[in-house]
């Protein structure tokens, strides 16, 4: 039986996802996953990893909407179009597949920048399966696109939640010295 994540698709213009890595604040590494904070997305924490195929997966929290999102892409998927809807399926291990309406989302301002598949939901059962199962398979038009070994995904998303709690309680790491980051060391030098 296939499950539908209600309201999974979202228009890219409604999101504040930052495309530039320098805008994000690194939290820590957990195995093959990097955990960071996206100030452009209500200081939401996320995990990102990549595979030898070149595919990149980012899954994170949007605290302003009490939801999660994921982005998945590969530079070889050049035919993906910005703001176009794609019906995909995601299956974790032997679990029934999730029907997902994902939307193409161009990251970066440069023409020809990479387009990723983007989706969001408030149904955290999806995240629980992501954490619990060892494999994730993505399907498009009834064909398997790729199967991913989710090594460390449970620890990674636990760290995302820990990061989010810390940000909610204390703000961004180093907020006290944000002004000093752009400080010119010697403003009188010629």
53 Cβ neighbours under 8 A, 6+ residues apart: 74, 76, 146
pLDDT digits (tens, 9 = 90+) for 9-58: 232 323 344 444 448 999 999 999 999 999 988 999 999 999 999 999 99
Whether 181 is covered by a domain: the verdict is no
Q: What's this model's pTM, rounded to 2 decimal places?
A: 0.79
Q: Cα–Cα distances in Å, from 31 out to 39, 47, 80, 96?
A: 23, 11, 30, 27
Determine the pLDDT at residue 173.
79
pLDDT at 5: 35
Please report the pLDDT score of residue 98 as a whole number.
Answer: 95
Is 93 contained in some domain? yes
Quick check: is 187 in a domain? no
In a domain, 39, yes or no: yes
Residue 106 tokens read as: 């161009």
User: What CATH number should be reported for the domain holding residue 92?
Assistant: 2.60.40.1880
183 found inside a domain: no
Mean pLDDT of the 97-114 span: 81
Average pLDDT, the chain: 83
- Percent with pLDDT over 70 in the chain: 77
Res 107: pLDDT: 79
Hey, what are 59's tokens? 């899954």
CB 9 within 8 A of CB 102: yes
- Give a yes or no: residue 185 inside a domain: no
Which of 86-95, 102-111, 181-190 is the least confident region? 181-190
**pLDDT tens for each residue of 56-74:** 999 999 999 999 999 999 9
Residue 6 tokens read as: 């209600």
Q: Is residue 106 part of a domain?
A: yes
Give the count of domains, the chain: 1
- Which structural domain, as residue segments, surrounds residue 45? 3-173
Residue 186: band (very low, low, confident or very high) from pLDDT cuts 50, 70, 90: low
d(CA 3, CA 165) in angstroms, rounded, equals 29
Residue 182 belongs to some domain of the structure: no
- Average the pLDDT over each of 16-20, 77-81, 95-99, 131-135 and give the range with the smallest value: 16-20
Q: What is the pLDDT of residue 178?
A: 41
């Amino acid at each position: 039986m296939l499950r539908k994540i209600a309201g999974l698709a979202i228009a890219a213009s409604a999101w504040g996802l930052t495309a530039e890595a320098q805008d994000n604040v690194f939290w820590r590494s957990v195995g093959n996953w990097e955990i960071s904070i996206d100030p452009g997305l209500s200081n939401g924490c996320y995990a990102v990893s990549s595979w030898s195929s070149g595919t990149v997966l980012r899954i994170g929290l949007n605290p302003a909407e009490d939801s999660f999102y994921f982005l998945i892409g590969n530079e070889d998927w050049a035919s993906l179009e910005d703001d176009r809807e794609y019906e995909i399926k995601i299956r974790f291990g032997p679990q029934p597949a999730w029907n997902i309406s994902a939307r193409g989302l161009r990251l970066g301002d440069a023409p020809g920048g990479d387009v990723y598949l983007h989706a969001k939901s408030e149904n955290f059962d999806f995240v629980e399966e992501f954490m619990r199962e060892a494999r994730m398979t993505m399907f498009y038009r009834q064909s398997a696109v790729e199967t991913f070994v989710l090594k460390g995904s449970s620890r990674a998303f636990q760290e995302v939640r820990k990061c989010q709690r810390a940000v909610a309680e204390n703000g961004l790491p180093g907020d006290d010295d944000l002004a000093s980051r752009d400080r010119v060391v010697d403003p009188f030098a010629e």
